[in-house]
Amino acid sequence: MDNPSFVGVPWLGLLLCGLFCMTVAALAGSAAWVRRTASTLGVEAAGRWNLFFGGLCLAFLVGALTVGLPALAAAWVVLLPALIAFTRRRDARVATSRRYLARSGVATILADIRTARRREGSRAEEPRLGIREQFGQLVDRMQAAAVKGRKPSPGRKHAAAPAAQPKGGFTFLKKDGTTAIEMTADGERGGGGTALSQNVRNARDVLLAAMRADATDIHLEPHEQAYFVRARIDGVLRDMKTMEGEAGKGVISAIKVIADMDIAERRRPQDGTFAIQSGPDRYDIRVASTPTSFGEKVVMRLLRSSGGVMAGGLGSIGLRPPILRQLREIIHKPYGMFLVVGPTGSGKTTTVYASLSEIDAHQHNITTIEDPVEYRLEGITQIAVNTKADVSFASILRSVLRQDPDVLLVGEIRDRETAEIACQAALTGHFVFSTLHANDSVATVTRLLDLGLEPTLIQTAVTAVLGQRLARRLCSACKEPCAPPDGMLKKFKLKPGAVPHIYRAKGCDECGGTGYRGRMGIHELLVLNNEIRSLIRPSPSITDLKKAALDSGTLTLQLDGLLKVIQGETSVDEILRVTT
């Protein structure tokens, strides 16, 4: 049988056309890679490199139209040496294991190409960078900064403390927003010029001292002859002052009156709420009292409803950029469920409120069901649970679903009934926010199963889970550099010297000798994809779920914390304290 000869086929023309297309693709791809790499790593003379490769593309196109074939050969003669020269500049700014002009350079290039392709996948199933890639990028930036003689950016400075005496006066507000007690600027008399009792002034002094220290809780603890006043600052209780027994009882009586609690009842626990306005700052305060052997103990939770997290939204709670981008996509979905999980005091409620603050309340009907209402938000319907009147999460949720809501916040999922109604709401065109007590994002699946939910309901209703902890931030005035522990480097297969240094706490007058000022969140975002949903069954394998989560790009709480250790925001000891 004769082989076909394809007589008349312009082989030379097809070859030249293929070479032309390949050259155009190589020039355009090289120019795009140079522009991206020069910007990311801070390569010197980045502008000139971008101009050179852009000009080379233009020169080739002009040459191909005028001189033809010689332009094709000239393009490759110039392109290859230029790429080698630029790659040398690039390799000088990255770790040895990530260099292209090395023995394992081809494997590194292929790995980076695979990472770039995964990043350009569908947005619904968009995988995040793996652990080593994220550490590699961070190390690259730190080494680039070291080459230029810069230090890694320190943690944010602590917010300025309010003045000892507010210039705009001090006002106690009832839970309905009406004024209870208004003080003048000197704080000695009421708004109408009437004299104020010493108990009210003492209560104001305690609250102002807690505000200055950015405390989250105030404890008034009775002892045999005195009352101890302690404040929780950065998650740790600290002594503030000691009051005589009668003075402490007077402060508690004043607080109970303002919070609409029964001042004569000292044998039973009580709850109440009020607010304070100090200049531009407003705090919502939740009060809980309980009887003890020495008298009545009161604990106040301070929630700053003006500025801070409420003003900054999700961008102010310490989310890394990849998690922040994903989370902003998730919370604007038309339906689904977003859960924030963690132990008590880990900032779950603050995170869901920060999420709500980024949703347009004018275009969406947003309703919250809480026990109690902690933050006050404009344009949002907020409903408080009243267990004494048999008004539970589940009963309110049933009623609210008949009022055409777009977004729902269920303060906490505590039982099967509430969980089932919330999931059904997520499946019927509503987006549901809620919190849950669970150790991490993967443990949320088993926690929901323990509540009695069907696996299929979890698979279809839950969109994403955010595990969260609060870690103390290193004091920027006194933190000192130290060598990273070998165990941390080995864990991520980084060579000695890949991370120049980390920071540890020292202690100074500005931070009260603790070495820390303020707190930040560390997070673990699990977005449920098809693989993870297929593993949710009546008796799921936690090992398989964790492996699927890691394969999808989820970074554990501890690893997210260690990333912030490398950035100089906190210490290894602090991350181990909150994650183990």
Q: From CA 109, how far away is CA 94, in angstroms rounded?
A: 13
Number of domains in the chain: 3
At position 461, the amino acid (one-letter code) is A
Q: From CA 163, how far away is CA 230, in angstroms rounded?
A: 20
Q: Are residues 317 and 357 in the same domain?
A: yes
Crossing angle of helices 131-147 and 11-41, in 10° steps, is 70
Using one digit for the tens of pLDDT, what is the confidence trace for 462-508?
Answer: 999 999 999 999 998 999 998 888 777 777 677 777 778 889 999 88
The pLDDT of residue 291: 93
Q: From CA 516, how far away is CA 474, in angstroms rounded?
A: 4
Q: Report yes or no on 209 lying in a domain.
A: yes
Q: Are residues 175 and 27 in the same domain?
A: no
Structure tokens at 146: 């070291």
Tell me if 301 sits within 8 A of 285, measured CB to CB: yes
Domain limit, last residue, from 260, 281, 304: 304
Strand segments (E) across 26-74 = none
CB atoms under 10 Å from CB of 178, counted, come to 7
Q: Report yes or no on 207 lying in a domain.
A: yes
Q: Are residues 278 and 316 in the same domain?
A: no
Q: Are residues 345 and 238 in the same domain?
A: no
Q: Are residues 291 and 315 in the same domain?
A: no
Tell me if 446 sits within 8 A of 537, measured CB to CB: no
Q: Report yes or no on 61 lying in a domain.
A: yes
Q: Report yes or no on 570 lying in a domain.
A: no
Q: Which of 468, 475, 331, 473 is nearest to 409 (CA)?
A: 331
- Token pair 């355009």 in the structure block, residue: 28
Q: Extract long-range pairs of 233-238: CB within 8 Å, 24+ residues apart.
A: 234/472, 234/473, 234/514, 234/516, 234/517, 234/518, 234/519, 235/345, 235/470, 235/472, 235/519, 236/472, 236/514, 238/213, 238/512
What sign for the dihedral angle of Cα 175, 178, 181, 183?
positive
| SS3 per residue for 434-485 | EEECCCCCCHHHHHHHHCCCCHHHHHHHEEEEEEEEEEEEECCCCCEEECCC
Q: Are residues 390 and 292 in the same domain?
A: no
- Token pair 């919330």 in the structure block, residue: 422
Q: Are residues 244 and 338 in the same domain?
A: no
Q: Report yes or no on 324 lying in a domain.
A: yes
Strand order in the sheet with 516-527: 381-384, 366-370, 407-410, 431-436, 336-341, 462-474, 516-527
At position 483, the amino acid (one-letter code) is A
Q: Where are the alpha helices (DSSP H) in 474-517?
A: 486-491
For 230, the domain range is: 170-304
Tell me if 354 sits within 8 A of 317, measured CB to CB: yes
The pLDDT of residue 300: 95
Using one digit for the tens of pLDDT, what is the confidence trace for 228-240?
Answer: 999 998 888 899 9
Q: Which of 317, 318, 403 is nearest to 357 (CA)?
A: 317
- Token pair 């500049």 in the structure block, residue: 89
Tell me if 2 sits within 8 A of 54, measured CB to CB: no
Q: From CA 119, how far away is CA 553, in angstroms rounded?
A: 11
The pLDDT of residue 463: 94
Domain limit, last residue, from 60, 93, 126: 93
Q: Report yes or no on 576 lying in a domain.
A: no
Q: Which of 526, 532, 517, 528 is nearest to 571 (CA)?
A: 517
Domain limit, last residue, from 93, 109, 137: 93
- Token pair 């600290």 in the structure block, residue: 238
Q: From CA 355, how far away is CA 422, in angstroms rounded?
A: 18
Residues of the chain with pLDDT under 50: 1, 3, 6, 119, 122-129, 145-166
The pLDDT of residue 155: 38
Q: Report yes or no on 509 lying in a domain.
A: no
Q: Which of 433, 447, 439, 432 is nearest to 467 (CA)?
A: 439
CB atoms under 10 Å from CB of 312, counted, come to 12
Give the DSSP per-residue string, 143-167. HHHHHTTPPPPPPPPPPPPPPSS-T
Q: From CA 462, how far away is CA 422, in angstroms rounded?
A: 10
The pLDDT of residue 8: 59
The pLDDT of residue 109: 78
pTM of the model: 0.66
Q: Are residues 250 and 352 in the same domain?
A: no
Q: From CA 545, how far away is CA 491, in angstroms rounded?
A: 21
Q: Are residues 352 and 425 in the same domain?
A: yes
The pLDDT of residue 17: 78
Q: From CA 328, how far away is CA 535, in angstroms rounded?
A: 26
Q: Are residues 413 and 373 in the same domain?
A: yes
Q: Are residues 278 and 358 in the same domain?
A: no
Q: Are residues 317 and 233 in the same domain?
A: no
The CATH number of the domain holding residue 245 is 3.30.450.90
Residue 446 makes CB contacts below 8 A (sequence gap 6+) with 540, 542
Q: Report yes or no on 71 lying in a domain.
A: yes
The CATH number of the domain holding residue 402 is 3.40.50.300
The pLDDT of residue 126: 41
CB atoms under 10 Å from CB of 167, counted, come to 9
Give the bridge partners for 476, in sequence order.
none
372-388 CB burial, b ≥16 within 10 A, e <16: bbbbbbeebebbbbeee
The pLDDT of residue 1: 43
